[in-house]
Chains A and B, each alone.
Chain A
Amino acid sequence: MSDLNTQAVARYKNNFLREVEERVEEGDMVKMCMQCGVCAGSCPLGPHWQHSPQKIFMMIRAGKREEVLTSDSMWMCTSCYNCIVRCPRQLPITHIMHGLANYAHRLGIAPKGQPTREFAKTFWNNLIKKGRVNELTLTLAHYFANGIGPGIQIALNMQKIGLGMVLAGRLNPMEIFGGHSVKDLNGFHAVLAKAKEIEDRKKGFSA
């Protein structure tokens, strides 16, 4: 168990709902769910999840902290927004799903190797480096995430598309050498740092 997680447990004792309300993006709306099940029935990923959004919200209210935060359910959300447009209680379900995933990740208890989580990490790390997404390095990092062998296999499969993109000017092979950055990279990093500081304060990670 990570330090952050231990601290969180100590801080909220058994009140997981309060923890979610304070620390998870739009978590204060969880209490408004009326358990109608419309989101569960609307989600295209429904059959593939362990817990539907409806169930996740009920679990939060029932104090099932461990089960929720270590679940891979919210990582399955594809952001289709079907649930949001249908929820009669106007819960920002998609956002809460991402918020929960993010929070679990932050505490270090999100499921290891969960593909969405892995890709999100890769994406984020790529993005913050230069303030913009480097398609080439992002793609390659993604291809080789499972090792050299499979990476080469996927790269070969995608060869044609890649060449086409290069010819169309949509992919610059030179980007492999670090790539270009946003104009004010230091400023961008300062924005991120400030945002993190504010968020930490708001969510009670720092004083």
Chain B
Amino acid sequence: MADNKFAAYICSGCGLGDKLDVGSLEKIAQKEGKMTVVKNHPFLCSASGVQMIKDDIANEGVTHLCIAACSRRAKTEAFNFPTAAVSRTNLREGVLWVVAEGSDHDEVRQEMAEDYVRMGCAEVKKMKLPEGNPNRDQAQNKRILVVGGGMSGMTAALAAAEAGYEAVLVEKTGALGGFAANLWKRVPFSSPYAEPQATGVEEMVAKVTGNTRIKLHLNTTVAETGGAPGRFTVKLARESGAVSDETVGAIVQASGFTPYDMAKLPELGGGQANVVDQAGLEALAKTANGGAIKRADGKIVTSVVFVQCAGQRDDTGTHLSYCSGHCCATSIKQAMYFKDANPDVDTVVMYTDLRVPGMGEDFYRSAQQKGVIFTKGKASKVTGGDSCKVEFSDLILDEQTSVDADLVVLATGQVANAGVNLDAWTEVNTAAEGGNEEAKVKRSGMKTISVLNLNYRQGPDMPQFKHGFADSHFICFPYETRRTGIYAAGPTRRPMDMLQATEDATGAAMKAIQAVENAAQGRAAHPRAWDLSFPSARLEGCTQCKRCTVECPFGAIDEDEKRFPVFNEQRCRRCGTCMGACPVRVISFENYSCDTVGSQIKAVNVPDEDEEKPRILILACENDAYPALDMAGVQRLSYSAYVRAIPVRCLGSVNTIWITDALNGGYDGVMMMGCKKGDDYQCHFVKGSEMAHYRMSKIGDTLKQMGIEPERVVTEEVAITDNARVAKLINDYAAQINDLGPSPMKGFG
């Protein structure tokens, strides 16, 4: 490997040259930053500026660059030098645009710019050029495993196959089709959205079985899954007892749903004669085969009441608290079964809010046209039997009343078949590992419902988000889960109807394809899909504390027999949460480590107490907070020139050493900005922000020992839209630091 050669390029365009003394910045890069090559350019992102850098890389052997110009989020295409390690120093959004105008501020503006140049140089000195997963040649498998042969699973397998990827489709029953195979008809997918349609299951099955790229395993379950994207090894168990192995690159979990058990709804007649759920009604309709629908006792149904939201949207905590989204349209469809066979059948759909997403409004209107009666009311009691009675409160007429019917249909909800709940699992597993025999038995019992049987340290299935669904963040990152290379599709991810499930499955198949392609190139998956860096641990220093293996939000780290962490690079999303967790700081990425950030913190010139220029360190999550800071600059919202901001991959990657180093070094305060945490988190790495808040809540003692007021360290939640708020947060905090006075540590560093 050739020797490293460091260079700094300082831009004087965009007005930087007018307000900053670029000559002195150059001197700092040279003398303090120890850059071998230092150049300035009036328009660095222009073709000639970029060419200048390229020439230096090609002819001068420059391997490491510090570009002191605009934010790292700007001009990414111009400043793309794949063969060099690059740090970006933010003089434009971070200094020029946010420091108040006027010559009064010339001095602090220049000081801020000088510090940022020092920081950029210090950072790049510690960086290495990321080269991708070194074991990527073992992660070249591009086959896609699809678990579940229902509508979602078949769609995913076909989508993968049609895109040119081999699919392995595993179905635990003896036939494809899943829940959809038991339907008489489905809601329409296309205009005019007026009539129930044939399910299309048979055509789909024919397509799947006729596709040479799809390998089908019926009567089969997944007995064990191990490995990582590009190299998953999956043990398949046949009902017969036979076991086979498949190697795949990514997995789509389309394990579907189970209708909420109506036996839990005795007050709504669950379990009584002539009270069925929607699945039960489909069975009756299938038997009727287009003719008059009969009850189980053979009587032709002349009146039917559909009770919506049965055991759903329940705020008492007894039943499902959510809306399953499909059941209003499903009841509409089922009411049409009756009306289409005989318009004289009385059909009442009893709802509190009729929710028909997509083009469901048209379908609803069509049912009204057919004479289905929609009654806004809440059923309080259903009595089954020969003549059923639905007692309800009419929400429009504001009265308690009742209606009789031959048959009552309960619209119960979808319960995800998402496997083992990992929170419960962790508890039992920890006890079992501690030798508790009872827990061991319980653990094997729990495992029987596992879908994937992952041999991961963090448990056998995907973590569940809310209400037991295997989602990770449906608003910011649809299709993402918390197990890299494994994508949930259909009602196991969130409640949905068949059309949504097919779209969802197609999306999941596309994500799976991205995952195998990224893995083959040794790159990370979403949200750092371009990232070639990967975590490595100096195991000589590891104390086997297990923090990294427990805290990794994506279950990327396993443990070997000696309890050392085993990094599965392709499972890793490169968030750095493990790096933030490690108490002995042995985890690092080539271009992001305790050193790359620590050296920046140390590079800042901290003025003496009597200069009355405090220094505030900002560690800003690069996903939301840092863009918000940039936007504050774009909008010319000024904030204190005493802050020095460092972008971090995720607040979870913040190692407490940075905080203590900063405070020891005489900084007057540290402000952390990360995404929203908690149940409605917006953290791009799910748990990072939460972990950071948690860790910071624990450093009080350390601060006390140092004799530092705890208010000097603050953690804020910042959204990407918070540009105005960020400026205010900083200024308020700077005022607070001003009131506190200089840090007691100043001068000791």
Interface residues of A (CB under 8 A from B): 17, 31-32, 34-35, 54-55, 58-59, 61-62, 64, 89
Contact = CB atoms under 8 A, between A and B. Distances in A.
A61 B396 CA distance: 11
Given A58-B376, A61-B375, A31 B369 contact: yes
B593 to A, nearest CB: 59
A32 B365 contact: yes
Interface residues of B, number: 14
A62 B354 CA distance: 18
Contacts of A34: 354, 364, 368, 374
Nearest to B367: A31
Interface of B is mostly: mixed
B390 to A, nearest CB: 13
Interface of B: 354, 364-365, 368-369, 371, 373-376, 394, 396-397, 401
> For the complex, would chain A's binding face be called helix, strand, loop or mixed by DSSP majority?
helix
A55 B396 contact: yes
Contact of B397 (A17, A31, A32, A62): A62
A64 to B, nearest CB: 8
Given A58-B396, A61-B374, 8 more contacts: A17-B373, A32-B369, A34-B374, A35-B396, A55-B396, A58-B394, A61-B373, A64-B397
A198 to B, nearest CB: 26
B368 A62 contact: no
A24 to B, nearest CB: 16
18 contacts: A31-B369, A31-B373, A32-B365, A32-B369, A34-B354, A34-B364, A34-B368, A35-B376, A55-B397, A58-B376, A58-B394, A58-B396, A58-B397, A59-B397, A61-B374, A62-B401, A64-B397, A89-B365
B643 to A, nearest CB: 51
Contacts, number: 33
A59 to B, nearest CB: 6
B396 A31 contact: no
Contacts of A62: 375, 394, 397, 401
A35 B397 contact: no
B365 to A, nearest CB: 7
A35 B373 contact: no
Contacts of B397: 55, 58-59, 62, 64
A31 B368 CA distance: 6
A52 to B, nearest CB: 9
Contacts of A17: 373
Contacts of B364: 34
B193 to A, nearest CB: 15
Contacts of A64: 397
Nearest to A57: B396
Nearest to B346: A15
Nearest to B371: A31
Contacts of A61: 373-375
A1 B374 CA distance: 31
B737 to A, nearest CB: 53
A64 B365 CA distance: 23
Q: Which of B364, B368, B401 has the most CB of A within 10 A?
A: B368
Interface centre among A54, A58, A59, A89 (most CB of B within 10 A): A58
Nearest to B361: A34
A89 B368 CA distance: 11
Nearest to A37: B396
A54 B395 CA distance: 12
Contacts of A54: 396
Contacts of A59: 397
A61 B346 CA distance: 12
B267 to A, nearest CB: 23
Contacts of B376: 35, 58
